[in-house]
Structure 1
């Protein structure tokens, strides 16, 4: 596809709670946005961002409003009204700032807030990225919307109307095809990745809290992360004489409950909850881990479709993985010497994995080096962006696909593999 040099991308993100500031509440979305933006820039694109979370007060991006929405139903209706009003204002502002000046727009989907349709009407390809079925998640997994049917209509229409849809996993793609009536031919699967430059291993202070093998976790302290199962398993193993340390970096609604659980399990002296730290400081805390934990409870929809960015960040810091047996973790660990898998809904499976970790504790540094080598070779944002641009060129040049089922589209991971 012919483009001017350098080509220009407008990056759109309407969610006021998602920011690229170092102290952003949502570290995962921050890392993903920066990964995509810097990945395109590494391919020679000029990227002009319109990120609403970078243009609002820091109180909004620190998670205060999110917690309120989950607690108070009346606030959800007010929140929906605010979303719709902000969407209308930000659509006009994004077009005024970027309309006619970019070759593509790439939008990170936000609940009830769609900015890219105006660009499509003007003939600018609208690429929409989604990290989940938000109309389902905000109604079932967490209660943060007051008008769920309206949220569902807006989301499904956006998926159908965009020129190309980016999904983070094959499982999410399948659900969107089935639930939203979107043609599989317009969907690209682009899992998470990592910017290795953010995770240098040289001259980094080692924040070590325990002499025992140390399990580390970085992320939001919310129920589906199942840290409670890890704490219970560590308590059981301590009574068998197997000692671990646990360092938790992050904050969230479950922190108080999980701190109390560590006390009840008799391991409070071997668990450190450090709270939220600036994104620029995360690496030095990871440096003190021996292994990174990524648990994930089964979702009520029946399929775990997320692609947790922490997997790639642990590996970038040369840490092997202790992860639930979901698709993204499985493809990083199965057949490789990079970590340990367990069944999320089986406590005995987690304890068995922890016993293997303890038995192999002297090999963990070697496994960590293999983990870093894997992400360096196959899972950087530069590689993802290169393959994504190539795939989008082909997709956008082709006639619009008709809705269909049973079509197999190669994932960007497959296209990027050496």
Structure 2
């Protein structure tokens, strides 16, 4: 099929959604589809400077096309982008528009193109502009489905009772990740102890839980803790505030070598915390790094939240039942034995290959629509 993938995200960029979007297009291309990624224009203050090859930056093959369409920040910029997407669709005639940009997808669907929309945030009211667009989209003949990352999000949209939206057209498909190379050579990591190499990959934002890793380094001086991620400004602050011999702040690690860092870890942390920007604590996250951990067969120590339990269980992870308390994490680590780490890592890898590769995700979605 000819697939136009529509998204609003800074590319090239380190942010997780940009990584996932680009790797999703690579997965669709690997399935044999002709893919064009349509993006909002790259503003200089949002993208990674000095990137000459976007495909190399994301460590994906040059198997699809990327186009940046006009989306000025002034009033009307979103409408202009949506019109540009529609214009491209009329010229290229895709068999399917797969999008994360509701306004543009509504327009392409009205023009007669089969359209799938991936939803990443809830509706804040039945009368909101988002709800009205969802209803309008669901009524169109060429609308195929909504896709959510978690079953909790799927239930949210089904239970809203919006006209035309229900069990029949809201699908659940976890984020997934690309299959790593058959052999991933572990990256040699600095070591200050003779204990485990424990690590976290992701942003240093409060709700990601990176501070848990810092507190664990203080509480467990017999193990090394590695953090991969964070902006230069964040790193400067954290390095000044947290001077611990067993805490290693690596900063941003390029996609091409990130898996090598993860492969070198004995235990991976997924310490998600309540999001201050999401006070209702809606359980809609599907963290990309979790699937990177699982893909490499690394044991995962994770916050015990309902949305993560859609993927994790006591056989493929260690779940921390009170993730806001550092003591809960300390107790979980101290209670682990090497043989259990090996078992849960192997099961995590098995579950990933069986259910959570990006290619399997999109193959399943395309079959279900």
Q: Same fold (TM over 0.5)?
A: yes
Report the CA distance shift for 1:14/1:161 in structure 2 as closer, same or farther (over 3 A): farther
The structure that is helix-richer by fraction is 1
RMSD: 2.9
Structure 2 residue corresponding to 1:312, chosen from 284, 288, 291: 291
Q: Which moved more, 1:290-299 or 1:336-345?
A: 336-345
What SS class does the counterpart of residue 76 from structure 2 fall into?
A: helix
1:167 aligns with 2:187: no
Segments of 5+ residues of structure 1 without an aligned counterpart are 1-6, 64-79, 137-148, 393-418
Contact 1:219 1:251 in 2 (8 A): yes
What does the per-residue CA deviation read over 1:61-99, in whole Å, with 9 as the maximum and x for residues that have no partner? 249xxxxxxxxxxxxxxxx98265321222222222222
CA distance in 1, matches of 2:319, 2:196: 15
SS at match of 1:82: coil
1:123 alignment counterpart: 112
Contact 1:170–1:189 (Cα < 8 Å) also in 2: yes
Distance 1:276 1:84, change over 3 A: farther
Higher relative contact order (CA 8 A, sep 6+): 1
Unaligned ranges ≥5, structure 2: 50-70, 138-142
Normalising to structure 2: TM-score of the pair? 0.80
Residues 249 and 48 from structure 1, CA distance in 2 versus in 1: closer, same or farther, beyond 3 angstroms?
same
Q: Is the 8 A contact 2:301 2:317 kept in 1?
A: no
Aligned length: 332
In structure 2, relative to structure 1, the CA distance for the partners of 1:8 and 1:363 (3 Å cut) is: same
Q: What pairs up with 1:257-336 in 2 under 5 angstroms?
A: 258-259=238-239, 262-263=242-243, 268-299=244-275, 300-336=279-315
SS in 1 for 2:199: strand
Question: CA–CA distance in 2 between the matches of 1:200 and 1:208?
Answer: 20
C-alpha distance in 1 between matches for 2:224 and 2:74: 42
Please show how residues 358-373 of structure 1 align to structure 2 within 5 Å. 360-361=337-338, 363-373=340-350
The residue that corresponds to 1:59 in the other structure is 45
Aligned counterparts of 1:311 and 1:31: Cα–Cα separation in 2:
14
Measure the CA separation in 1 of the matches of 2:209 and 2:8.
Answer: 29
After superposition, what is the alpha-carbon deviation per residue over 1:277-328, rounded to whole angstroms, capped at 9, x for unaligned? 2222211221221111111113411332100011110111221111101234
CA separation in 1, counterparts of 2:72 and 2:159?
Answer: 29
Structure 1 residue aligned with 2:29: 41
Q: Which residue of 1 aligns with 2:52?
A: none
Provide closer, same or farther for how the CA distance between residues 260 and 316 of structure 1 changes in structure 2, counting only shifts above 3 A. same
The offset of 1:36, in angstroms, is 3.0
